[in-house]
Amino acid sequence: MEPRIVIAGISGRMGRLLREEVANAKLPLTGGSSRGGPSLAELAPSADVVIDFTNAGTAASHAATLASAGVAWILGTSGLSAADEAAVRVAAEKIPVVYAPNFAPGVILVLAIAERMAAALPADRYDAEIVEMHHRQKVDAPSGTAVGLGRAVAKGRGVDLAQVMESGRDGHTGPRKPGAIGFAALRGGQVVGEHTLLFAGGDEHIALTHRAFDRRAFAVGAVQAARWVAGRAPGLYDMRDVLGI
Task: Give the residue numbers marked as catalytic.
Answer: 134, 138
Spatial strand order of the sheet with 126-134 comes to 165-167, 181-187, 126-134, 193-201, 205-212
SS3 17: helix
- What are the CA-CA distances from residue 230 to residues 4, 72, 76, 100, 224 (Å)? 9, 7, 17, 17, 11
Of the candidates 15, 106, 109, the residue with the CA atom closest to the CA atom of residue 55: 15
Chain centroid to CA 213: 17
**CA separation for the pair 133, 221 (Å, rounded):** 21
The beta strand positions in 34-171, using DSSP E, are 49-52, 72-75, 96-99, 126-134, 165-167
Of the candidates 52, 21, 22, the residue with the CA atom closest to the CA atom of residue 34: 52
**CA separation for the pair 216, 232 (Å, rounded):** 25
